Amino acid sequence: AGFTADKRKEAGSQHLDMGIAEEQAVAMISGMAKGGLRPVWSVYSTFIQRTYDQIAQDLCINSNPAVINVVGGGVNSMNDITHICLFDIPMLCSIPGLIYLAPTTCEEYFAMMRWAILQDKKPIAIRVPSNGVVHTTEKVDEVYSYESKYKMMHEGSKVAIIAAGSFYQKGENVVRLLADKGIDATLVNPRYLNEVDTDTLEALKTNHNLVVTLEDGSKDGGFGERIASYYGTSDMKVLVCGVKKGLYDRYDVEQLLKDNRLLDEQIVEDVLALI
């Protein structure tokens, strides 16, 4: 996770190498948080499955304010069949009491991390962006809520793109391509994966008829399907964009994106077909 030898040496006794004992790691950080410490545990997306029970039972039932860095979640990560990093969103978002944040830039990640460490009420997971280090010159929020609050980045009409985490830049690309077609699409940074922001979703009803969700992971049981469910009884169309549930082995990233219609141009084509 980038915690190199020099950084481990600098951290000294504050660094604990848990090896592959993920269940023990979660039980330990829960106890540490209960005792007043603020532990931060970094784990690859694919290994979250090993400790689902401890996150639910030891951490979330007790509302212990530990922080989990989920590393490598998404298509641009480990990709053999036993190490697929596409299922952390469905897994973690099914656990009550856990807030799952999805930063879109380096600056937003560190702001979320600072807030997560300093707060003392909830366990917080943060999906570290897996699409490289992306910087922003825009001011990012320093304080976050325990309730989901999406952030409107550009307000347009008719079409709204809700692009989560490491697919946010893909959302920016789609908005630019739609602008070339004469469509001024709204762009939303949801920031929260675990619950929908009903205020924002309701507000979009006033001048939008299509919502497009983008998530870097399995769409089955994921972020976008929750939004689609919210709009289910309304007139709003929802296009959920993500990777179809499957056990992929040593896949080519570009081909996986193409097969799931996740290339920027494909998303634009599908949007134009729906409006």
User: pLDDT digit string (tens) for 46-84?
Assistant: 999 999 999 999 999 999 999 999 999 999 999 899 999
Q: Please name the amino acid found at residue 225.
A: E
Residues of the chain with pLDDT > 70, as a percent, come to 99
**Token code pair at residue 28:** 């330990």
Tell me the whole-structure pTM to 2 decimals.
Answer: 0.96
pLDDT value for 145: 95
What are the structural domains of the chain?
5-127 (3.40.50.970), 151-274 (3.40.50.920)
pLDDT of residue 19: 85
Q: What is the pLDDT of residue 18?
A: 87
Please report which confidence band the pLDDT of residue 8 belongs to, taking 50, 70 and 90 as the band edges.
confident
The pLDDT, as a whole number, for residue 1 is: 55
How buried is 143 (Cβ within 10 angstroms: 0-12 exposed, 13-18 middle, 19+ buried)?
Answer: exposed
Average pLDDT over residues 176-191: 98
| pLDDT tens, residue by residue, 126-166 | 999 999 899 999 999 999 999 999 999 999 999 999 999 99
Strands 124-127 and 151-154: unpaired
The CA distance from 18 to 14, in Å, is 13
